[in-house]
Amino acid sequence: MSNPEVRHTLAEDVYAILIGASLSAFGIVILHAAGLVTGGVAGLALTISYRTGIPVGTLFFAINLPFLVLAQRTMGWNFAIRSAITVALLSVLTWTIPHWSPMGAVNPWFAAIFGGTVIGMGILSLARHKSSVGGIGVLALYLYEKRGINAGKVQGTADTLIVLSAFVALDLRHLLLSVLSAIALSAVLYTFHRKGRYTGH
């Protein structure tokens, strides 16, 4: 007999969104300190930030606006509102975390693997509670929910293309390490975000 689905309480949803946004923001801050990028909107925001000096959080929020509209049209108001709150919180945290805990020099290998993994765990926490960090994640989650397509595969393909476009801001070594960060992120989703692995909602 299969286990019955368990509905999350509002408190559990809020807690998961706080954890997911915090982990994702921390991963972005680590990557920024090492001069790396990753996939998705975060990768675009980091790339543009390196070229312009505009804060990553500001860019992350601005780039995500059209994706939040897509979230409302494809996944409904509940998902869109939760994602908007998450994006706003993450944007603020990417600005405040370096003030609370200055990173200094971060080993780029560590940043690539740990930063990508932490962002992946943050996205996983959000997905389990009907939220996201916007961007490609909206499309990935939509295809997972509606078509059963593995979210990690969608995210990984898009992330790799976005990271490769960062050649305009990075040297070859940092670019290859950024690809590694995107792989680490996608590996978390590919491994843990599969249909039937989780019945809570």
Number of domains in the chain: 1
In a domain, 3, yes or no: no
Q: Residue 199 domain-assigned?
A: no
In a domain, 197, yes or no: no
Residue 57 has pLDDT above 90, yes or no: yes
Q: Does residue 120 sit within a domain? A: yes
In the chain, where does DSSP find H-type helix?
10-33, 40-52, 56-75, 77-100, 108-110, 116-127, 136-147, 151-164, 172-192
Q: Quick check: helix, strand or coil at residue 66? A: helix
Our separate counts of H helices and E strands in the chain read: 9, 0
42 in any annotated domain: yes
pLDDT digits (tens, 9 = 90+) for 9-49: 888 889 999 999 999 999 999 999 999 998 889 999 999 99
Residue 15 lies in a domain: yes
pLDDT value for 193: 64
Residue the block writes with tokens 């000096």:
53
The structure's pTM equals: 0.85
Structure-derived torsion over alpha carbons of residues 48, 52, 53, 58, reported in degrees to the nearest 10: -50
Distance CA 110, CA 126 (A): 24
The reply to whether 68 falls in a domain is: yes
pLDDT at 1: 44
The closest alpha carbon to 189, from 137, 111, 135, 133, belongs to: 137
Q: What is the mean pLDDT of residues 167-188?
A: 88
- Domain of 171? 10-192
Specify whether the CB–CB gap between 145 and 201 falls below 8 A. Answer: no
Look at residue 201 and tell me if it is in a domain: no
Does residue 8 carry a pLDDT above 50? yes
